Amino acid sequence: DTAVSQTPKYLVTQMGNDKSIKCEQNLGHDTMYWYKQDSKKFLKIMFSYNNKELIINETVPNRFSPKSPDKAHLNLHINSLELGDSAVYFCASSPSPSTSGTQHFGDGTRLSIL
């Protein structure tokens, strides 16, 4: 069973489009995260939710909007996609914010903007 699953695995789309990436965890964790890994392989946190509430909101363009319908799901919606949004986006989860040192990651969504 996949603990943290992301869909889609690959996403190729045109500049200006709107797209969503979905993430689900079956670990019973309260806290979920979105990270971005750019072409230089730097991995940076974008958002974190704890039990459906936003607790970390890094300096990310407001074209990016996370949504957590329940604590097992954290989706990422991106409006007006730009070339610089091309990256691998990782979802992760941890039991709680205080245990954020031990996170379980999904295998990423590779977003390519044409």
Partner 1 sequence: DAKTTQPTSMDCAEGRAANLPCNHSTISGNEYVYWYRQIHSQGPQYIIHGLKNNETNEMASLIITEDRKSSTLILPHATLRDTAVYYCIVRGGGTDKLIFGTGTRLQVFP
Q: Please state the closest distance from residue 8 (CB atom) to partner 1, in A.
A: 15
User: Per the structure block, which two tokens stand in for 45?
Assistant: 């946190």
- Calculate the alpha carbon distances from 64 to 26, 44, 51, 69, 103 in Å: 24, 14, 20, 16, 22
Of 7, 45, 49, 87, the one binding partner 1 (CB under 8 A) is 45
Contact stretch for partner 1 (CB under 8 A) within 13-21, 39-47, 61-69, 71-79: 39-47
Q: Rule CB under 8 A: is residue 103 a binding residue for partner 1?
A: yes
Q: Rule CB under 8 A: is residue 60 a binding residue for partner 1?
A: no
Specify whether the CB–CB gap between 78 and 12 falls below 8 A.
Answer: no
Which CB sits closer to partner 1, 65 or 108? 108
Pair type for strands 10-13 and 43-50: unpaired
